[in-house]
Each structure stands twice: as structure tokens, then as C-alpha cells.
Amino acid sequence: MSRKLYMFRPDLYFTAIWMIDFKALSQRGIDYLLIDVDSTIADHHSKTIDPRAKEVLLEAFNEGYIKNACLVSNVMYGKRRMRRVASMAGELGIPFVGAPFFCAKPNASPFLTGLEKMNASPGNTAMIGDQIFTDILGGNRLGMLTILIKPLGKIHWTTRLLLRRARERRLLRKLGLKPDDNDKDIII
Ligand SMILES: [Mg+2]
């Protein structure tokens, strides 16, 4: 596999964030999480975290599998979206990073800010997200463990407009990763 293609390849691929085994992650040295917001823990239209996502994350914190996590979201247009991300971070009691347009994911800056807020390093952190071109690429560039999940809820019109999902599907096929509709984990 070419190096360029390799940077798009997630280390793990699950149908949803609640399918992730956080105990297994901690056993492989992952103590911290950077977590994307839209279509990863919440639907684009929702102001709150999907209860299933919230439950597994709080459990992972309570059990001590995960020491801390940070939400990292591209906040393209202003304060209202920033407040939404802040309130979700509040639901979980964790920090957050809202990346504005000029330093949006996959730029390194929001990832590095997130690591700093948790006092974590790429070696003990996993990036979890639904988009290859932002979440996975950015995480891989910094040498983090990357976990792709299938998008939660409806796909946002801007994503559709950019044909990003179609490009992602093509890329997943190239990488030999088949999106799977059953509820089993897909682990690479
Ligand atoms: Mg997303």
C-alpha cells in the first residue's frame, strides 16, 4: 500500500462508538480519547449526545479504562455551534476544542490542543471519528491510533454536496475495508 493511501487507513473500524471495547483499548496502552462530535456521538441536528454513546463513554471513565477524553469538532460557523459542542462536553465532564475554518481538522492544531488539554500524547491516545479525510487522516499524521466508525444519523447536506461520502466509500474499498451493516465489530 502506498504511503499516501496508508495515511487514510484507520487502525480499527466499528459500526458505532458503542461497539468499541474500551477495556481492550486500555490494555493496549490507550488511556485518552479525542472524539469527533457530528455523526460520531451525535446527530447533526441534535443538541445532546446519543444516549448509547454517552453510556459507553461514562462507563469507560467510571471503570478507569479511559482517564480523560476531549471533543474535537470543526466549528465552521460561529458561536452557536461552539456552545453546542461546549454543552455536550459538559454532559460528559470533559474538555473540548472547537476548530475554526482556518485550522479545521485534518490540520494538526486542534488535535494538538486536545492532547494538551488532557495532558496526553499521541502514543496513548486514540482518535475516534466518522470521517476519513478529517478525523482519520489528522490522527494518523500525528501517529495516533485511529478508529473509524460508521456515521451516526442523517448525513449533513454539506457533506453530501462535497461528495465526501462517495469518495470515502471508494477509499474504503481501496483499503480493503468493507462497510458492514450488521452490528458486529469490524476490526483490522
Ligand atoms: Mg463527524
Residue written as cell 496502552? 29
CA of 11 relative to ligand 1 center, distance in Å: 17
Flag whether the pTM goes above 0.85: yes
CA of 130 relative to ligand 1 center, distance in Å: 5
CA of 128 relative to ligand 1 center, distance in Å: 9
Task: Write down the CATH superfamily of domain 3-176.
Answer: HAD superfamily/HAD-like (3.40.50.1000)
Q: Report yes or no: 14 and 186 within 8 Å, Cβ to Cβ.
A: yes
Highest mean pLDDT among 12-16, 93-97, 163-167, 168-172: 93-97
Instruction: Provide the terminal-to-terminal Cα distance of the chain, rounded to the nearest Å.
Output: 15
Beta bridge mates, 180: none
- For the chain, the domains span 3-176
Residues 6+ away with beta carbon under 8 Å from 33:
66, 68, 69, 70, 125, 126, 127, 128
CA of 37 relative to ligand 1 center, distance in Å: 6
- Average pLDDT of the chain is 88
Residue written as cell 485511529? 146
CA of 141 relative to ligand 1 center, distance in Å: 18
